[in-house]
Amino acid sequence: MKLTENHSDNFFKNRKKYTLVILFIFFILLFILSNSLSGYYYRILLLFGINVILTLSLNITNGYANIFSLGHGGLMLAGGYTTALLTLPVEFKANTLSLPLWLEQAQVPFIFSIILAGIVAMIVGLTILLPAFRLKGHYFILASLGINIIMINIAENVRPITNGATGLRGAPPYTNIWWIFGIAIFLIYLIWTLLTARFGRAIKAIGKDQGLAEAMGVNSAKYKAYAFMISSFFTGVGGALWTHLILTISPSSFDLLVVFQIIMMLVIGGVSSISGSILGAAIITAILEILQPL
């Protein structure tokens, strides 16, 4: 018994040590890349990092929990518009939009704006999809598609706040390599931690056989809601980071094409796999950049 405990302690100590070494090497690599890459290749690296965040977020629902959702474009939109309205120059908001005075004058620090973007996306996702958790199969997929349709229609028609189809321009260029990969590493750690905890065991059981999981006492509705909340939050954060990279957003920036690109990243890399999400994001990001001039 004592030998087993010592072996377990050594395993966790070694794992912690190796993790710290890998993180140290990774951040050294980021420092080198941030100072050596040209503008074009640096931007591709940032897009890759954002795609990793979005693919990992989608993997929580579409992979581990087996909740096939097509609504992540609408959640990105919610996050993108939230951070834009909180950080756009006061002059632009005063001259272009008709906002409440507190929102017009708002100049929220970047870290708080992306947190609020995640919270708004989470609220939007739960508000629209919570009643749909009782649906199964293609019925739920169609319901999730409603997030995109509803959010794009809101963005196009609530012109005093969103500037309609023209969208919002002039978001501050806050997104950089440290923000993106710092959040990506945190999300990887969060997913890995959750998967090794009770939450992860419940989600994987639901994903494999929901009926059997419920028969064993797992509250599938509760755990699916938790999974969707986490996924929605980080999708909103990904949308916020993307907004502060491209600087100009409109409703068409978050159409179904964006959703299908993220799904392709997940499928090509392999569902229910953290490393697969990273690999899929790398492959599709590279392919899209290669095809862009064609």
Q: What does the pLDDT look like over 125-134, one tens digit per residue?
A: 888 877 777 7
Provide the residue type at 45 as one letter.
L
Distance between first and last Cα of the chain: 64
Q: Is residue 12 over pLDDT 60?
A: no
pLDDT tens for each residue of 225-255: 899 999 999 999 999 999 999 999 999 999 9
Rounded Cα gap, residues 176 and 50, in angstroms: 10
Measured in residues, the chain has a length of 294
Buried b (16+ CB within 10 A) or exposed e, 172-198: bebbbbebbbebbbebbeebeebbeee
Predicted pLDDT at 168: 96
pLDDT tens for each residue of 143-191: 888 889 999 999 999 999 999 999 999 999 999 999 999 999 999 999 9
Predicted pLDDT at 281: 94
pLDDT tens for each residue of 22-50: 777 877 888 888 888 888 889 999 999 99
Buried b (16+ CB within 10 A) or exposed e, 250-261: bbebbeeebbeb
Per-residue tokens: 175: 């997104």
Rounded Cα gap, residues 191 and 1, in angstroms: 31
pTM of the model: 0.91
Q: Is residue 14 over pLDDT 70?
A: no
Alpha-carbon 210 to chain mean position: 25
Provide the residue type at 5 as one letter.
E
Predicted pLDDT at 147: 87
Alpha helices in the chain (DSSP H): 2-36, 39-58, 72-87, 90-96, 101-104, 110-129, 138-157, 159-162, 177-195, 198-208, 210-215, 220-246, 256-269, 274-291
Rounded Cα gap, residues 161 and 103, in angstroms: 10
Angle of helix 72-87 versus helix 256-269 axis, rounded to 10? 120
